[in-house]
A and B are shown apart, each in its own frame.
Chain A
């Protein structure tokens, strides 16, 4: 069966520090991968999606970047965090059938 792993679960980082969130998928190949963010009082905003290794599409301009070094690995990064980067970050994958499967999320607090 397919599983998705996302870590860490919580993270507190100072302004200006780097960020690296990792997401891995098991039990499937060539998945579409997504990074979403849920900011306080807001819905789920798509940040990046990837249809294959090295293929990244950005939905909104921001202080973040994404990479897909392996088929089932998706990384969200920042060189210098801003206060506005705080939020709940979700990784998701989709296969041949409709619907996403989400990871358990990372609560990022930038202080």
Chain B
């Protein structure tokens, strides 16, 4: 039973265009969402996050949108750059404010940005 779903295993975009990575979740208790970026043979690195009390969070070229009613979030990268090519993981937490929380990850989406 996968609680965090990234239904697109891969995405290919042209440099300079927008990349949109999608994520759906099923657990209504999730209240914090994060995106991680992972290069081959490296650990994931934190990219951006959003609390369930917000519907948008922006950091430079990266924006995360949250639609709670649809249990859907998306990561927008504008403009996309070749260095953005990596696997992107969506993650969710159901323990807001707690000292012991676990992240549930999706399977990841491989983004390829073509020059």
Contacts from A to B (Cβ < 8 Å)? 6, 9, 32, 34, 36, 42-46, 49, 51, 59, 88, 90, 92, 94, 96, 98-105, 107
Partner of B99, one of A44, A51, A59, A105: A51
B103 within 8 A of A: yes
B44 touches A90 (CB 8 A): yes
B85-115 interface bits toward A, Cβ cutoff 8 Å, 1 = contact, 0 = none: 0000100010000011111111110000000
B residues sitting closer than 8 Å to A (CB atoms) are: 6, 32, 34, 36, 41-46, 49, 89, 93, 99-108
Q: Which of B6, B89, B100 lies at the interface centre, i.e. has the most chain A CB atoms within 10 A of its CB?
A: B100
**How many Å lie between the Cα of A9 and that of B40 in the bound state?**
13
| A32–B89 CB distance below 8 A | no
Q: Chain A at the B interface: mostly helix, strand, loop or mixed?
A: strand
The CA of A11 and the CA of B24, in the complex, are separated in Å by 35
Residues of B near A32 (CB, < 8 A) are 99-101
> Given A43-B89, A43-B108, A44-B89, does the pair A100, B41 have CB atoms closer than 8 Å?
no
With A43-B89, A99-B46, A100-B46 already in contact, the answer to whether A94 and B101 are too (CB < 8 A) is yes
Give the residue of B36, B41, B108 whose beta carbon is less than 8 angstroms from that of A105.
Answer: B41
Report the bound CA distance from A9 to B42 in whole Å. 10
A46, B2: Cα distance in complex, Å: 13
